[in-house]
Amino acid sequence: MHTNAYTFRFAAIVTIICSILLAGAATILKPRQSDNIKLDKKTNILASVNIRPEAGQKFSRDEVFDLYEKNISEVVLNMDGEIVTDLKAEDLDPKKQPQLMPLYIKMRDGQADAVVIPVSGKGLWSTIYGYLALDTAYTTVIGITFYSHGETPGLGGEIEKAWFTSNFSGKKIRNEKGELVSIEIVKGKVAEKVTPEEAYHYVDGISGATLTGRGVNNFLLKNLRKYEPYFRKNMKSGEGSI
């Protein structure tokens, strides 16, 4: 029969060995994990401006990075909507640099064709992350993606599905006076809640996910307001200026 001292020594040795193995694995896999995070973000930025693989297909890693390089330009903004030079969007740390914001620009024939902003905030159970693409008049939604969250599968988790996100395309973030009003997810069907003239600012809700929708409503408007100084500075409808 082993003594208590032997048992404790054995448990300590096993714990130390496991800790070393786990630390080593984490160190070895960290570059790959970082690369996967970049891949996921770039895939979703591309998807928000409708650069997607054909139905049933999937872009390879190399295709994603190549398409991103060819189509997307990055800038960094301050809270006044001014471009900050000598900084890369991918190097920003939101916790250490809350006053700086990334902006992603879809280019076409050397001209800005769309802008993409990151959106995030609290849903029901988790922080939801995504990207919202707008036209260069900063008025109409081109697309939206939600790529990371912990909402309930089959309920709030449906926000990432194409059937839901496609409802945002063509919606308006401004009213007739040009004021920022964002897009609101309603409880139920838009047609039952608002007039056809108002419908451009609303999308159908997800059954059983009212609180998730309410969270998305709150953070979409909050995130858009952060970028409004930049939008106002560059609001030259139809010129695609950045």
* Structure confidence by residue, pLDDT tens digits, 95-129: 888 899 999 999 998 899 999 999 999 988 999 99
Question: Contact 90/42 with Cβ under 8 angstroms?
Answer: no
pLDDT at 240: 44
How far out from the chain centre does Cα 163 lie?
A: 17
pLDDT at 54: 86
pLDDT category at 194 given cuts 50, 70, 90 is confident
pLDDT at 237: 44
Residue 70 in this model has a pLDDT that exceeds 90: yes
Amino acid at 151: E
Distance CA 158, CA 31 (A): 31
The count of C-alpha atoms lying within 13 angstroms of the C-alpha of 225, restricted to the half-sphere facing its C-beta, is 7
Residue 9 in this model has a pLDDT that exceeds 80: no
Q: What tens digit of pLDDT does each residue of 131-185 get?
A: 999 999 999 999 999 988 888 888 888 888 999 999 999 999 999 899 999 999 9
Average pLDDT over residues 227-241: 74
pLDDT at 241: 46
Sign of CA dihedral 195, 196, 199, 204: positive
Average pLDDT across the chain, whole number: 86
Least confident window among 30-39, 194-203, 219-228: 30-39
The two beta strands, 127-134 and 184-185, are: unpaired
Q: What tens digit of pLDDT does each residue of 26-57 get?
A: 566 555 556 778 888 999 999 999 999 888 88
pLDDT at 236: 59
